[in-house]
Amino acid sequence: MTAKSSPGFSLVELMVALVISSILLGGIMTLMSSSKKTYTLQSEFSSLQDNARFLIDELTYKIRMAGYSGCSQDPNQKTNPFAFSQNITSGSPPSDQLVIVSLGEILPLAPAQTTFLGSTTINLRQGFILPPSLSVGSTIQIVDCTIKPTPYTVEGINNNVLALDQKLANFKSRVEVFNGFQEIIYRVQADSSGLVGLYKCQDNNPNGVCDDQKQFTTPFVDGVQSMQVRYGIETSTGQIQFNPNPTTNQGENVVAVRISLLMRTPKKRGIPSTTNKIFHLDPEVTYNPYEHLSNEEGFRHRLFTTTITVRNSTI
């Protein structure tokens, strides 16, 4: 009497099944790992592009306001000499510092404020909350559509009525009152962990120096590795030449500003290697992250360039 065969797999069949399963599982794991890396990289690139877009919008608005003198649009009133300053800072790659000076916050006038000639007071709109920087001893700027800003010192404040140090000039048209000048400083720096970003300082003392260094402790925009600033100078022949360091007497001829931003993915994701490409931030400034692997391993880079026309330009 013969014994019945027990159902099941032979050892050879089992080994074949394990080999096939291992190959399939390895392929799935490789696909999942590749998909995860791709997703991570695309997510970082998305953050990089969002940061670059936000920063370009910010700089475009602020640069166009540089030298703004109220409602005056007289092309003979060149208000740009005080608008731009630049300081080359060290780093790899090097980066520029951008200083923008413009008139400060507009102070809305009361509806009943119709005359200025000979008066020593300014009536602001009731209910307007005075900015903290507006106090006794501070300077306001008053401008109409025919003359440049005129400074006045505030000697007293009572219920949104400003007492001034001198009689008001003979303003001939619509008048605008500004809270002095506003200075904004942008510069690139790294924190203690080596992460780079663009830092921003804003104050009402236009001296080219951040008076409140605490503003430089938190990045305004992450991932900015270099900012190159070039000023478009209008020559006597009407041509525009971009210069990294306009002199004082050239400042009034600044009609455009070109900004180049080298952006780096905000976070290090452990992705092997880095961008191997020469970025031309300027004809004289280039950078290849692959040549600095000790600092760049795991990051990716993109370059953005824009040219901004100055609002109160001479063209």
Q: What is the mean pLDDT of each run of 10 residues along the chain (315 residues)?
A: 62 77 77 68 82 94 74 48 56 83 85 71 89 89 74 91 87 78 88 89 84 91 92 80 67 78 84 86 88 87 91 49
**Mean pLDDT over all residues of the chain?**
80
| Residue 181 placed within a domain | yes
For 58-67, how does the pLDDT look when each residue is reduced to its tens digit (9 = 90+)?
999 888 877 6
Range of the domain at 112: 41-309
Residue 253 resides in a domain: yes
- In angstroms, the CA 212 to CA 199 distance is 12
- Our count of domains for the chain comes to 1
- Is residue 68 one of the residues assigned to a domain? yes
Instruction: Judge whether 7 lies within some domain.
Output: no
Is residue 88 one of the residues assigned to a domain?
yes
Angstrom distance (rounded) from CA 257 to CA 255: 7
Q: Is the pTM of this model over 0.85?
A: no
Residue 29 lies in a domain: no
268-287 pLDDT, tens digit each = 776 778 889 999 988 888 99
In a domain, 25, yes or no: no
Percentage with pLDDT > 90 across the chain: 23
The CA–CA distances, whole Å, from 84 to 38, 230, 246 equal 42, 11, 9
